[in-house]
Structure 1
Amino acid sequence: MSKGKVLVIGSNATRIETKDGRTGATGQYLNETVVPMLALIDAGYEVVLATPNGAKPHMDEASDSAEHFGGDVAAYEKAKAFWANDTSMNSGLTLRGAIEQGLDNFAAIFVPGGQGPVVDLMIDPDMGEIARHFHEKGKPSAYLCHGPIATVAAMPHAREFRSALVAGDEAKAREWAKGWQYAGYKMTVFSDTEEKVVEDYVLHAKLYFNMIEALTAAGGDVSKTKIDFEPNVVIDRELITGQNPRSDHPIATALIEALDRRLAA
């Protein structure tokens, strides 16, 4: 019998804009999505996938590698098979559909990364409604890598906030961020120096803003590791954030522990 349902929120983005006026390929990271989902299932929880349009997320090609599984080819192949074939990955809802099912039916939310959330989730009104519900109820809310940027959707003027960041107007962004529910929370996110690696070797272009800059402008108390790509999870109240792809196992552990504590209370 399931211990409860966890709403896994994915992105539908396939491209992200860059400063040269073009776009680069993006999507959702394989390990960041599947490792926590499998851990939740193993711990007795049911996972329900939802995206803005209800379609399955696009896998970021940069994540399609055993390197993101510590070189464990068997773990990589298991994750690929889960992504391709498991019902949990292939019978998703729209975000609106998840809301209409009743958010009280879900014990937690989990938002994995890849740069996709920077494109769609951070300005999606349904994502905002979901984030606000879990914040107000104090229910575990886990966001990994670029995933924490989706918390921006909860603010009253998320779209204007993002536009100000793209325009390079940090002062205006701070103005639009007023009323953000997570202002003052301790958190982490994919760092500026980690993003530079992606910009230099994957995108071959610069993004309009980095994630630490964005969440700091919003009012978050953002920290990062001294060494890039070291695992890092920050917990503040109901909010659980992981810094990078290598934080996949630690954030899964933290989320399951938070769920189990609520279940035992």
Structure 2
Amino acid sequence: MTNPIKHTLLASLLGLSSLNLMADEQKHILMVLSSYGETDAQGELIKPGYEFDEMSKSYLVFKAAGAKVTFASPKGGKVLADKYNKAKQYNAKFLDDKSAVAQLENTQKLATLNHQDFDAVYVVGGKGPMFDLATDNSVKQIIKQVYENDGVIGAVCHGPAALLDVKLSSGEYLLAGKRVSGFTNLEESAFTKKWQMPFSLADKLSEQGALYQQDSLMFNQVSFDGNLLTGQNPFSTTDTAIAVAKKLGLTLEKSIEFKDDRTIKLAEQFVADKTAALATYNASKQDYDSMLLAMLGVYLGKHAQSQMEREAALTLLKVTSSDVNHPAIELAIAKTLLADNDFNTAKNHLSAAQKKFPENPEIATLLTDVQSL
């Protein structure tokens, strides 16, 4: 006859063992943030920090995948982010997570951590990493140790600066012969105005043997090379984090995609198949950020390095001009046409733009200049 007490005790022990096994199987991701950010007495940022958007997007992906996340930085404690919008979908959701916010307010000090506790290291971007993580020995040591223990290494935007000078036990650079992405020289030229960067990230990655991969300005680019996964810019963040989660064997019950990421992917579709992209956009404009599409068109037009990029810029600008209705869009269309030596079309466009925005001096001046050609 079965002893009921013994049976209950055994079941309890088995249940406890099962729970412990599940806890042991939970993947642990070390999310590294820059400690460089600093403010003055008025609260203005005088040294750049980490990118809050990249942190929140990545954290939400890892949490949805069931991973444990620990925030760490070179100095530990509170770290400062660059300016960000708290109302953005992903930032608001992160800020509602009181446990995550509390942990972020008191990051772990990198030098105190044991690499054996982590299955992955993920480095968040922002300008700050270029100043501290690029030379911090603690982050390089834990990246080396986790990587050589078959762990996963991820980094996005300027985060790959932390991968510089990481030497494996073989004496080779971690980057040597690896496909790697990071903030491009063109993106640096277009968007890094306030801060003087200490070096070119793209050039340094290449100097250490990385097979540097890049897409067009602010397009989504994620590079995969074994257990090393890197993203080009802020709009590569979500897919980089998803790639890290999948590499760890984690699954997401539903797709995670934010409006700005979806918008960038639509912009890429305009390059590949304009007709299909236009149909998608017109059918569900509410799912996309028209202003972001327009601004991407402005920057693509200004910094285009090929005919294809100029055509893509014109397409984005024309598609969004009626939705955004701003003189900067009309000027960008005209300037892109002029860069393509299409003077007549540019003149006609400026004439129409002047009627639309009669008080805008830049449109009037450019029209006068074009008419004199």
Task: Provide the C-alpha distance between the structure 1 equivalents of 2:211 and 2:229, rounded to a whole number of angstroms.
Answer: 13
Runs (5+) with no aligned partner, structure 1: 16-22, 67-71, 157-177
Partners of 2:35 and 2:49 within 8 A in 1:
yes
Relative to structure 1, is the Cα distance of residues 91 and 121 closer, same or farther in structure 2, using a 3 angstrom cutoff? same
State the one-letter code of the partner of 1:185. Answer: K
Query: Once the 2 structures are TM-superposed, how far is the Cα of residue 222 of structure 1 from its aligned partner?
Result: 0.4
Against the structure 1 CA distance between its residues 24 and 211, is the aligned structure 2 distance closer, same or farther, given a 3 Å change threshold? farther
* 2:191 equivalent to 1:198: yes
Match of 1:126 in 2: 138
Aligned equivalent of 1:141: 153
* Alignment-derived partner of residue 212 in structure 2: 222
The one of 102, 106, 113 equivalent to 1:87 is 102
Q: Displacement of 1:192 after TM fit?
A: 0.5
2:46 corresponds to 1:56: no
- Choose the corresponding residue for 1:33, options 55, 62, 66: 55
For residues 32 and 141 of structure 1, the distance between their equivalents in structure 2, rounded to whole angstroms, comes to 16
Q: Which runs of 5+ in 2 are unaligned?
A: 1-21, 39-44, 252-373
1:121/1:153 contact within 8 Å kept: no
Query: Is 1:47–1:88's contact at 8 Å kept on the other side of the alignment?
Result: no
**1:9–1:208 Cα change, 3 Å:** closer
Q: What letter is aligned with 2:234?
A: P
**Residue 43 (structure 1) aligns with:** 65
Alignment partner of 1:248 is 2:232: no
How far apart in 2 are the matches of 1:55 and 1:91?
4
The one-letter amino acid paired with 1:128 is K
Output the amino acid matched with 2:108: L
Q: TM-score by structure 1 length?
A: 0.75
2-side partners of 1:60 and 1:97: how far apart?
26
Aligned equivalent of 1:4, options 15, 22, 27? 27
Between the two proteins, the alignment pairs up a number of residues equal to 220
Per-residue deviation, residues 184-219 of structure 1 (Å, max 9, x unmatched): 11110001111112234xx1x643422111111111
Q: In the superposition, relative to structure 1, how do residues 234 and 91 fare at CA in structure 2: closer, same or farther (>3 Å)?
A: same
Cα deviation 1:20-52 (Å, max 9, x = unaligned): xxx963110011111111211111111001111
Partner of 2:120: 108
Q: CA deviation at 1:261?
A: 6.5
Which of residues 220, 227, 239 is equivalent to 2:228? 239
Kept in 1, the 8 Å contact 2:94–2:100? The answer is no
Distance across 2 between alignment mates of 1:35 and 1:154: 26
What is the SS of the residue equivalent to 1:86?
helix
Could you report, residue by residue, the CA deviation over 1:131-169 in whole angstroms, capped at 9, with x for unpaired residues?
Answer: 11122122110001000110114249xxxxxxxxxxxxx
Name the structure 2 match of 1:166: none
Which of 74, 78, 86 is the equivalent residue of 2:89? 74
Partner of 2:248: 259
Structure 1 183/77 Cα, relative in aligned 2: closer, same or farther at 3 Å?
A: same
Higher Cα Rg, which structure: 2
As a proportion of its length, which structure holds more helix?
A: 2
Question: Which structure shows the higher strand fraction?
Answer: 1
Which position in structure 1 is the counterpart of 2:336?
A: none
Q: Secondary structure in 2 aligned to 1:109?
A: strand
Identity %: 24
User: Normalized against structure 2, the TM-score is what?
Assistant: 0.55
